[in-house]
Amino acid sequence: MITFKDIQEAYQILQPIIRKTPLEKSKTFSNLLKENVYLKEENLQTTGSFKIRGAYNKIYHLTEKEKKQGVVCASAGNHAQGVAHASTLMGVNSTVFMPIYTSPVKVIATKSYGANVVLEGISYDDAADAAKKYAEEKKLTFVHAFNDVYVIAGQGTIGIEIFEELPTVDAVIVPIGGGGLISGIALALKTLQPKIQIIGVEAEGAQSMKLSLEQHKIVPLKSIMTIADGIAVKTPKDQTFALAQQYVDDVVTVNDEEIANAMYLLLQRTKLVVEPAGAVGLAALLSKKISFPNKNIVAVLSGGNVNLSLLTQIIERGMMRHKLLVKVAITALDKPRVLKDILAILANVGSNVQSIDHDRCTTAVPVGYVKIVITFQTLGKEQIEMIKEKFDQKKIQYHILN
């Protein structure tokens, strides 16, 4: 079993390799939640996530023969990049198995770090099974994404960094996939200060650790469904499960809407790009799943490698949620000047039109009418109310779309 000494050793090994990522107090979230909220910004780490820590520590400890033969791993993206980059730094060949639906951004990045990429299976677990079989056939070292002493020790160095900068920390909120990150952080912080609360957060659609802890045994999930692909793991393993049982105080879940909202607010308020898996800790705080009034709370932002198409969708949905982007459906007579009058209303109140869609070929409107869907930017609720008032005065039939 891993010890705190292993984490201390990893801390020294990683000093010249990794970035000591910022631990910054967020004025916005602190005021909003009435807590002292600090963000551990591992999204700014080399390769865009914390995974380089465990991957490098593991490969560093291989024998020269094992390094010469090469390594293989399975990953939804971040561990892949960590293994690829760490291997290249040490002159080791690496092969990475990734689920077939992995974000293209992560696949491209993994290849750019020097790995050979193989797309296999629907989930991480499927890719891991294929990777292990390949490792046996080729006599390569399999670098597990989380269930490994050296990997866990590497991730645990984040706990030492947090305590060094904020020794008065009361609670640390950590994303959970397979459990390697929270296991290492929890062991480090509980050793340094046993009273610190360690809270794990899983996606509602992939809560394997939570169910396992509740039932006091490892419980495999039959299926997983979440935008947080970085923590979409069906089954925790023996080492991470045992460490979680011993050191983790609680595990909560958040749904995809809560995750998306946290990502949007991080981007808007702190200018940080954080992937879904990395945002679950803050999502739990914002949705009141966790509350530590007037305490020092650290949310670990574990990664920033987000699919750009997903990020675009989350930004637009976030703007709509916060009334900065509005989509309105209008039923109007299909005749000249009607659209001009509608656009004049929007222009006069200072709204910027983003898109316009006409649909004459729908049975949803009477013959001689047209359905117009307009997407426009606003300054908030007051401006929307002004627009609605103008529409009512002109007897325009409209419906605000959510």
Distance from C-alpha of 166 to C-alpha of 77, rounded to nearest angstrom: 30
The pLDDT tens digits of the residues spanning 10-21 come to 999 999 999 999
| 121 and 99 Cβ atoms separated by less than 8 Å | yes
- Cβ of 214: how many Cβ atoms within 10 Å? 11
| 43 and 301 Cβ atoms separated by less than 8 Å | yes
- Residue 51 is among the residues annotated as catalytic for this protein: yes
CATH architecture of 323-401: 2-Layer Sandwich (3.30)
**Over 80: is that where the pLDDT of 124 sits?**
no
Give the 3-state DSSP-derived string for 45-87, with helices as H, strands as E and coil as C.
Answer: CHHHECHHHHHHHHHHCCCHHHHHHCEEEECCCHHHHHHHHHH
Mean pLDDT over 268-278 rounds to 96
Residue ranges, comma separated, of all CATH 3.30.70.260 domains in the chain are 323-401
Q: Which residue in the list 40, 51, 106, 234 is annotated as catalytic? A: 51
The pLDDT tens digits of the residues spanning 102-122 come to 878 789 999 999 999 999 998
Minimal CA–CA distance to 188: which of 8, 338, 35?
8
The pLDDT tens digits of the residues spanning 320-364 come to 998 899 999 999 888 888 899 899 999 998 899 999 998 888 777
- CA torsion sign for 145, 146, 152, 158 is positive
Instruction: Give the Å distances, CA to CA, from 399 to 106, 110, 332.
Output: 40, 46, 12
CATH architecture of 52-142: 3-Layer(aba) Sandwich (3.40)
Q: Return the CATH number of the domain spanning residue range 4-49+149-317.
A: 3.40.50.1100
pTM for the predicted model, two decimal places: 0.90
Q: What is the mean pLDDT of the chain?
A: 94
Three-state DSSP class for residue 176: coil
Report the percent of the chain where pLDDT is more than 70.
100
Report the percent of the chain where pLDDT is more than 90.
80
Residues 6 or more apart whose CB falls under 8 angstroms from that of 337 comprise none
Strand partners, 331: 371, 397
**Over 90: is that where the pLDDT of 99 sits?**
no
**Over 80: is that where the pLDDT of 76 sits?**
no
Three-state DSSP class for residue 334: coil
Residue at token pair 């039959």 = 222
Residue ranges, comma separated, of all CATH 3.40.50.1100 domains in the chain are 4-49+149-317, 52-142
Residue 250 backbone phi and psi in degrees, to 5: -165, 155
- Residue 26 is among the residues annotated as catalytic for this protein: no
